[in-house]
Amino acid sequence: MGGTSDETRIIQALEHGEITLRGEMLFGSNDTFLVQVHYQDEDIPAVYKPTRGEQPLWDFPPGTLALREVAAYVVSQALGWELVPPTIYRRKGPLGKGSLQFFIAHDPEYHYFTFTPEDRQRLRPVALFDILVNNADRKGGHILFDHDHHLWLIDHGICFHVEDKLRTVVWDFAGEPIPPPYADDIERFVSALERRSAPWVATLEALLSTAEIQALLRRAQRLLRGGCFPRPPTGRRYYPWPPV
């Protein structure tokens, strides 16, 4: 996938195409299906996560994980980082409402723990993004390179909690200054969110609670004030399990 036109085409297909189940992904906690989306004589692979297949969590409101998947895509696009594959929320699907995300073809054996040193150096926006969305489960296998070597992030169902829940394998840059281009992007993001001056803000408000959006804003402001990648917290687990 590349370019705005491709993104628009994929989003339209995800929103309006006919969904056909192709198989179930059995290694996650929640029901996840590989599907084919047929739209305007084109078949697009996608990942479908129905809300009815979400396992209850004690710390996240029930029935909200699919919405969080979409919110992560909205934030990624608002920052201009294009890290999350196109993702939408479908009210109707083979198993009811849920998230639908463009499937990224990739080598599953190539992940954070097998990346080359050069590819590990490309993960600064990953670390920043996970801090912003408060990712509670950034496993090594959730970071992908497609066949064009574009960097992608998947699995964002347990993000955006109001409490600090960050658990990630990517602590490579702890203590480093945030590169100015990324700081500039975050500053623009903060400004738009504070002023509600971009269309994506209303989209985000339909996906997350007011408290969750305010917590997102505070995390972004805190990153800018600190100017550095934070170090791992003390007093709680900051690593996901399993790590891959």
* pLDDT for res 226: 97
Stretch 7-30: mean pLDDT: 92
Structure tokens at 42: 């084109």
Is residue 42 helix, strand or coil? strand
Is residue 220 helix, strand or coil? helix
pLDDT tier at 3, thresholds 50, 70, 90: low
Residue-wise pLDDT tens digits, 187-229:
999 999 999 999 999 999 999 999 999 999 999 999 999 999 9
Is 46 a domain residue? yes
Q: Is 77 exposed, middle or buried (0-12, 13-18, 19+ CB in 10 A)?
A: middle
The DSSP output letter for 122 is: G
* pLDDT for res 26: 79
Name residues whose C-beta falls within 8 Å of residue 39's C-beta, 6 or more positions apart in sequence.
Answer: 12, 13, 16, 17, 18
Residue-wise pLDDT tens digits, 94-152:
999 999 999 999 999 999 999 999 999 999 999 999 999 999 999 999 999 999 999 99
* pLDDT for res 1: 56
How far apart CA 22 and CA 5 sit, in angstroms, is: 27
* pLDDT for res 204: 97
Is 242 a domain residue? no
Residue-wise pLDDT tens digits, 33-86:
999 999 999 999 999 999 999 999 999 999 999 999 999 999 999 999 999 999
Is 240 a domain residue? no
How far apart CA 144 and CA 154 sit, in angstroms, is: 8
Alpha helices by DSSP H, listed for the chain, are: 3-16, 65-79, 117-120, 124-133, 180-195, 199-205, 210-226
Query: Whole-model pTM above 0.85?
Result: yes
How many structural domains compose the chain? 1
Is 101 a domain residue? yes
Is 238 a domain residue? no
How far apart CA 55 and CA 62 sit, in angstroms, is: 8
Is 214 a domain residue? yes
Reply yes or no on whether the pLDDT at 2 is more than 90.
no
* pLDDT for res 35: 97
Task: State the residue range of the domain holding 80.
Answer: 3-226
Structure tokens at 79: 């920052």
How far apart CA 31 and CA 148 sit, in angstroms, is: 29
* pLDDT for res 5: 72
What CATH number corresponds to the domain at position 75?
1.10.510
Is 234 a domain residue? no
Asked if residue 242 has a cis previous peptide bond (ω within 30° of 0), the answer is: yes
* pLDDT for res 30: 87
Contact 11, 86 (CB under 8 A): yes
Reply yes or no on whether the pLDDT at 235 is more than 90.
no
Expressed in angstroms, the distance from the first to the final Cα of the chain is 25
Residue-wise pLDDT tens digits, 159-186:
999 999 999 999 999 999 999 999 999 9
Q: Which one, of 91, 78, 89, lies nearest residue 11 by Cα?
A: 89
Is 105 a domain residue? yes
Reply yes or no on whether the pLDDT at 29 is more than 90.
no
